Chains A and B, each alone.
Chain A
Amino acid sequence: MASCSRAQVISLYRMLMKESKQFPSYNYRTYALRRVKDGFRENLHVDNPKTLDVLLNQARENLALIKRQVSIGHLYSAQKTIVEKEPHL
């Protein structure tokens, strides 16, 4: 099945990471990056195509969610926190 191809999974992962980096809020940004990485790592060895389908759909929904929340974050941005050394891009 096309949706289970390795390339698709990797491209989803990359898109999720790219979008998560855009969160203006330090806490949300670090959480999203961490959770996406850990989530994909946790499911590294899933074989069952049905489960894979479900997981990939969840990932796609989360991607849309992150995009929406990133724009909201930009609309209502605040100052940076004290541990952020460089301005995020």
Chain B
Amino acid sequence: MNMMNRTLSRKLLRSMCGISNPRLSFAQSAVNTVQGQKELIKSRELEKDELRPLYMDFQATTPMDPRVLDAMLPFQVNYYGNPHSRTHAYGWESESAVEKARKQVADLIGADPREIVFTSGATESNNMSIKGVARFYKAKKNHIITTQTEHKCVLDSCRIMEAEGFDVTYLPVKNNGLIDLKQLEETIRPDTSLVSIMTVNNEIGVKQPIKEIGHLCRSKNVFFHTDAAQAVGKIPVNVNDWKVDLMSISGHKIYGPKGVGALYVKRRPRVRIEPLLNGGGQERGLRSGTVPTPLAVGFGAACEIAQQELEYDYKRVTVLANRLVQKIMSEIPDVVMNGDPDQRYPGCINLSFAYVEGESLLMALKDVALSSGSACTSASLEPSYVLRAIGADEDLAHSSIRFGIGRFTTEEEVDFTVEKCIQQVKRLREMSPLWEMVQEGIDIKSIKWTQH
């Protein structure tokens, strides 16, 4: 079924190039509109009495768990000392809170507290690891390996490294979003210093075989960094089992505060990093700057809660995700799920609806907060590079929507979303001349597009 859709849309795309047939102006103009106009969905604030949309965008960010806020508030009100002040009670209580938080983070990933460095988020952690490791080992090692589906901050850091003279290989991914281990093994050279592959992709939810990659890298003596922002607290993570050397964690993806994250840096065998931020030598000299106590405490609390609730949340999210996908796929045809159906985190579902334009579907689903692709790429108008990397056709990539399910999602919300989605997709397809043709049984491949 999926194969047929792919061939169909590929033929369609090819035939769409260079047509002036007015019947197809919808499809062509849809593409043109996306490329020409700045923004179809205008941003505006909600009216006072307007009902809030449902939040189904858990990959972009997550609401703070009330337990996290409760842990943070005392440090915003009364315990406001600087954790690096060594001479008074304000400093001591703040420091002990930060160390407690450090232990909570370390326990979640199976690390030692001394291996955790608090940062301002996963983006900073990613920057630190890639630039730090590459620059430190510059003398002997010059090669970095990453994938085409990484987060923008990783790709951009690698681009900067290329400008500094490093050699970067962007590994392609298979159609299901997973990397080919054999290909990775072949790409590793004697002068490779770092391999960076994310654990769970934020756009399609695919889970990479991190344990195998970690063992491979350890056997070849190459440092392995993984961006686990979407994975930590959602699937069991153990840095020692997986033989990971560096791991980036983000606070606001696990129901913690925004503006804090962590970097796990292995101590045995030691990974040396050239620090990005220089100064007073805080965080073992790796990241100078006052550690934001309330944020770190909130982050620690979020990690502890995530560890306790991991199984419960995972079961629930799986049930809800299956419900959503089954209901949608049984009611409307020509829906493709991007990414491997098994090796994935169930809470991130990326569906492509053929013959429907993504932005118009999002506009139609105005009562549900969704996104097509990731927040960091939605500013530009190109279809997501992740979908392009997994080989999705242009038009299917344009019509993709990402559904995020999290700890606070209810069955009601899923049902509402599914109902609205089915309703709007059917309505948009009714208006589509391409859909009309497909329904009439016209074989789009056999149409001869003539110029008038």
Contacts and interface: CB of A to CB of B under 8 A. Distances in A.
Query: Are both chains from one complex?
Result: yes
Interface of A: 26-28, 30-32, 35, 38, 65-66, 68-69, 72, 78-84
Contacts of A82: 51-54, 367, 416
Interface string B337-354: 000000000000000000
A72 B51 CA distance: 20
B51 A80 contact: yes
Q: Is chain A's interface secondary structure helix, strand, loop, or mixed overall?
A: helix
Given A27-B408, A28-B408, A80 B52 contact: yes
B311 to A, nearest CB: 11
Nearest to A84: B51
Nearest to A25: B63
With a 10 A CB-CB cut-off, give which of A32, A38, A66, A79 has the most chain B CB atoms. Answer: A79
11 contacts: A30-B410, A32-B66, A65-B66, A66-B66, A69-B69, A72-B69, A79-B48, A79-B50, A80-B51, A83-B412, A83-B413
A66 B67 CA distance: 8
Nearest to B51: A82
A37 B264 CA distance: 36
B55 interface: yes
Given A31-B407, A78-B52, A83 B416 contact: yes
Contacts of A78: 52
Contact-residue size bin, chain B (C-beta under 8 Å from the other chain): 20 to 34
A15 B367 CA distance: 34
Nearest to A34: B410
A24 to B, nearest CB: 12
Most chain A beta-carbon neighbours within 10 Å: one of B52, B55, B407: B52
Contacts of A68: 70
Nearest to A79: B52
A30 B69 contact: no
Contacts of A30: 408, 410
Given A66-B66, A68-B70, 13 more contacts: A31-B408, A35-B312, A65-B66, A65-B67, A69-B69, A69-B70, A79-B49, A79-B51, A80-B51, A80-B52, A82-B416, A83-B410, A83-B412
Contacts of A69: 66, 69-70
A80 B49 CA distance: 8
Contacts of A26: 410
Contacts of B69: 69, 72
A27 B55 contact: yes
